Amino acid sequence: MRNTGVPSLFATISTSIRSGLWFTLLIVMATTSLLIVALTAASEAASAAGTDAGRMAFSFVIFLVLIATLLGIPTVLISIREQLGQLPFLHTYLLTVAVGLSFVVVATPAMLWAILSTGVSANVWLPVIGTTVLEVGAITLLVALAHWALKSGSAATVTAFTLIAGITLGPVLLVATATFAPPVTQTTQTYWLKWEDGDQPLDPETGYPLNPVCEKSPVTSTALLTDYTGVSAIIATNPVALVSASITPAIGDYVMPGYEDQGFEPQPPMPAIAVPLDLFSSVDVAARSLQLPVSSEPIIDDECAKIAEFGTPYPNNGQADPRDIIAETQSGFLDGAIGQGAFLVVATVILGAIRARTRRS
Mean pLDDT of the chain: 87
Least confident of 224-228, 247-251, 278-282, 305-309: 305-309
Q: Give tens-digit pLDDT for 325-358.
A: 999 999 999 999 999 999 999 999 999 999 888 7
Res. 264 pLDDT band, cuts 50 70 90: very low
What per-residue confidence (pLDDT) applies to 160?
Answer: 95
pLDDT digits (tens, 9 = 90+) for 97-129: 989 999 999 999 999 999 999 999 999 999 999
Same domain, 150 and 196: no
Angle at the Cα of 282 (from 281 to 288), degrees rounded to 5?
A: 80
Domain count for the chain: 2
**346 falls within a domain:** no
Length of the chain: 361
Neighbours of 258 (CB within 10 A): 10
SS3 of residue 195 by DSSP = coil
Query: For 133-156, b where at least 16 C-beta lie within 10 A, e where not — what string?
Result: ebbbbbbbbbbbbbbbbbeebeeb
Task: State residue 18's pLDDT score.
Answer: 61
Phi, psi of 238 (to 5 degrees): -60, 130
pLDDT band at 2 (very low <50, low <70, confident <90, very high): very low
Which residues, 6 or more positions from 205, have their beta carbon under 8 angstroms from its beta carbon?
Answer: 268, 269, 311
Is the model's pLDDT at 271 over the cut of 50? Answer: yes
Residues 210 and 276 both lie in one domain = yes
Could you give the 3-state DSSP secondary structure of residue 65? helix
What number is the average pLDDT over the span 270-298? Answer: 90
**Domain shared by 126 and 221, yes or no:** no
Rg (CA), the chain: 26
On whether both 208 and 324 belong to a single domain, the answer is yes
On whether the CB atoms of residues 277 and 55 are closer than 8 A, the answer is yes
What pLDDT is stored for residue 272 in this prediction?
Answer: 76
CA distance 225 to 2: 57
pLDDT in tens, 175-197: 999 999 999 999 999 999 988 77
Residue 78 lies in a domain: yes
Q: What is the pLDDT of residue 316?
A: 83
Would you say residue 355 lies in a domain? Answer: no
Which residues does residue 193 pair with via DSSP β-bridges, in sequence order? 214
Q: pLDDT digits over 56-104, tens only? A: 999 999 999 999 999 999 998 888 887 777 778 888 888 889 899 999 9
Q: Which residues contact 59 (CB under 8 A, 6 or more apart)?
A: 128, 278, 279, 280
Above 70 in pLDDT, residue 265?
no
Residue 297, classed as helix, strand or coil, is: coil
| Per-residue pLDDT, 356 | 87
Other Cβ atoms less than 10 A from the Cβ of 33: the count is: 26
Report which of residues 265 and 325 the model is more confident about: 325
Range of the domain at 90: 6-168
Cα 188 from Cα 210, distance rounded (Å): 26
**Mean pLDDT of the 297-320 span:** 87
Residue 339 lies in a domain: no
Q: What is the mean pLDDT of residues 302-331?
A: 89
- 188 and 68 in a single domain? The answer is no
C-alpha–C-alpha distance, residues 76 and 71, integer Å:
9
Same domain, 79 and 115: yes
Rounded Cα distance between 137 and 132, Å, is: 9
Nearest by Cα to 148 from 159, 139, 135: 159
Q: Do residue 62 and residue 85 come from a single domain?
A: yes
Where do the H-state alpha helices sit in the chain? 6-18, 21-42, 53-84, 89-118, 122-149, 153-176, 239-244, 279-289, 303-310, 322-328, 333-360
Q: Tell me, yes or no, whether 325 and 191 share the same domain.
A: yes
Decide if pLDDT at 136 tops 90: yes
Dihedral (CA of 55, 58, 64, 70) sign: negative
Residue 311 located in a structural domain: yes
Q: Are residues 155 and 187 in the same domain?
A: no
- Write the CB contacts of 344 (distance below 8 Å, at least 6 apart in sequence): 138, 141, 142
The answer on 11 and 130 residing in a single domain is: yes
Give burial (CB, 10 Å; 0-12/13-18/19+) of 210: exposed
pLDDT at residue 204 greater than cutoff 80 = no
Question: 267 falls in which pLDDT band (50, 70, 90)?
Answer: low
Say how far residue 324 (Cα) sits from the centre of its chain: 19
* Residue 46 within any structural domain of the chain: yes
| Phi, psi (rounded to 5 degrees) for 220 | -100, 135
Same domain membership, residue 156 and residue 29: yes
Higher local confidence (pLDDT), 342 or 319: 342
Between residues 18 and 307, the one the model is more confident about: 307
Least confident of 159-173, 217-231, 310-324: 310-324
Complete DSSP assignment for 101-130: HHHHHHHHHHHHHHHHHHT--HHHHHHHHH
Predicted confidence at residue 256, as pLDDT, reads 62
Of the pLDDT bands very low, low, confident and very high (cuts 50, 70, 90), residue 259 is very low
Residue 240 domain flag: no
Q: 312: helix, coil or strand? A: coil
Same domain, 163 and 84: yes
The pLDDT confidence band at residue 1, using thresholds 50, 70 and 90, is very low
- For residue 118, tell me if it sits in a domain: yes
Model pLDDT for residues 147-164, shown as the tens digit of each residue = 999 988 889 999 999 999
